[in-house]
Chain A
């Protein structure tokens, strides 16, 4: 597929389907985020970037053999590890061991029925502060890269460009 607009639209559809899958896996909060951010804002940003650059991909000049070997090798290594992981959905999985603890503590300690909210903002407040700072930093970096118009940049030479 050489037209990059099609890639933007397909990735939007993919995000929306990922949101549905995540909803089936009991994570409505994540599904809401993925649908709003991945399928909505992300597509707008990709299309905006395509408007500023080029909308067509030039045909590849390298063969696809080496990337395929790398991808297949990675897949083989990962598949080798799968059999040692706990089965899907088993309540005795080590991953889910702490879940009942959070769920039992949320209402007595914070009065919040949505455990995702209480873990996000209270039990893991530092984590979320860090994520907010990352979003802030990325926003500032985008503004630094794109705020100055190309015409003005040429005006004051190539310094800092």
Chain B
């Protein structure tokens, strides 16, 4: 553990930018390359990198497994709830036109919320799968 000093310092330098890049990819996905799937993968990879360098226990203190396992279904719930909201506001399921005062704004709201749901599910699933693999002891 003493030997990987360079890795630790480099990770501490890179990690904030990785997470910021994930937020950028998420929010700028409407105007450039990006969206919920990519941002979720980048954010999940950032947390996985932290766990790889600083150990699983340190990562679990920052991102507890219980939180991750709550976020996995939460994203799907947000997505499905946006669909129901489209329904209740007088459209079809997953129709965003009536979510705001005019259809274009409604579409932007709908896309934003749906991408948020995708982001939450994808990033939490990546971290949950990683925790499941690394948290399991060797059988031999």
Contact = CB atoms under 8 A, between A and B. Distances in A.
Contact flag (A, B; Cβ within 8 A): yes
Interface of A: 28-29, 31-33, 36-37, 40-41, 44-45, 48-49, 51-52, 108-114, 116-118, 120-122, 125-126, 128-129, 132-133, 135-136, 138-140, 142-143, 145-147, 149-151
Given A45-B130, A143-B132, A112 B48 contact: no
A28 B32 CA distance: 9
- Per CB-CB distance, the 7 closest pairs between chain A and chain B, nearest first, are A28-B33, A139-B125, A48-B133, A36-B41, A110-B107, A146-B132, A125-B94
B72 A136 contact: yes
Contacts, number: 150
Given A29-B34, A129-B79, 11 more contacts: A36-B42, A37-B41, A41-B130, A114-B30, A117-B115, A121-B115, A132-B75, A138-B125, A143-B128, A143-B129, A147-B132
Interface of B: 25, 29-38, 41-42, 44-45, 48, 52, 69, 72-73, 75-76, 79-80, 83, 93-94, 96, 103-105, 107-108, 110-111, 114-115, 117-118, 121-122, 124-126, 128-130, 132-139
Contacts of A142: 128-129, 132-133
Contact of A109 (B34, B104, B114): B104
Contacts of B130: 41, 44-45, 48
Contact of A41 (B45, B83, B96): B45
B118 A128 contact: yes
A136 B73 contact: yes
A125 B107 contact: no
Nearest to B132: A146
15 contacts: A41-B130, A109-B103, A113-B31, A116-B33, A121-B118, A125-B114, A128-B114, A132-B75, A132-B122, A139-B121, A139-B129, A142-B128, A142-B133, A143-B69, A147-B132
